[in-house]
Amino acid sequence: MTARGDFIEKFGGVFEHSPFIAERAYDDGLIFVPLTAKGVHAALVFVFRNASHDERLGVLRAHPDLAGRLAIAGELTEDSRQEQAGAGLDRLSAPEHARFTELNIAYMQKFGFPFIIAVKGLTKDDILAAFEHRIGNGVDDEFETATAQVEKIALLRLQSLLLQK
């Protein structure tokens, strides 16, 4: 078994600013060697899905707006910065940025958490289309959709981390 501190240091940020998920997975004996993306992901998702509604909402709220103020200020986590840049969100035109800002505000007002999507492999147009579609969802449906996207982001991050030796 890997040391708790090492595990938390390496995997505590897989769920954005929510190390409690990795801590609980480790403390509950859900982590097994050899560490694989699939195995660690299953353990972390189990903890996330069994967290209280308020804790899961906190995880959703820990995510940054897409192309939002944190990105402009350079205050994203390195993972989020790379993910957004990979989708071209760091190179939006002024009208595109205005549209993302408008949607971010409307989405946050409606749902109480930022729009979350696993951006890897998507273009800014794909993301914008999903944004415009999902803003029409009901609150419960969107909570579940955002939760599934957080889990997908976590898997992508784990796959990247576990390729690094």
For the stretch 6-31, pLDDT in tens is 999 999 999 988 999 999 999 999 99
Burial pattern 13-36, b for ≥16 Cβ within 10 A else e, equals: bbbbebebbbbbbbeeeebeeebe
Catalytic residue among 41, 63, 97, 133: 63
Q: In terms of domains, do 128 and 70 share one?
A: yes
Domain span at 53? 4-57
CATH code of residue 98:
1.10.3330.10
Which among 57, 80, 99 is the end of a domain?
A: 57
Give the whole-angstrom CA distance, residue 51 versus residue 79.
Answer: 23
Same domain? For 47 and 71 the reply is no
Query: What is residue 51's DSSP assignment?
Result: S
What whole-number distance in Å separates Cα of residue 56 and Cα of residue 134?
19
For the cut 70, the answer to whether the pLDDT of residue 79 exceeds it is no
| Listed residue (147, 87, 71, 84) closest to 113, CA to CA | 147
Residue 85's pLDDT band, with cuts at 50, 70 and 90, is: confident
Residues 29 and 101 in one domain: no
Reported as a single tens digit per residue, the pLDDT across 44-53 is: 999 999 999 9
Contact (CB, 8 A) for 27 and 65:
no
Q: Predicted confidence band at 93 (pLDDT cuts at 50, 70, 90)?
A: confident
Average pLDDT of the chain to the nearest whole number:
88
> Is 63 a residue of the active site?
yes
Q: Is residue 112 part of a domain?
A: yes
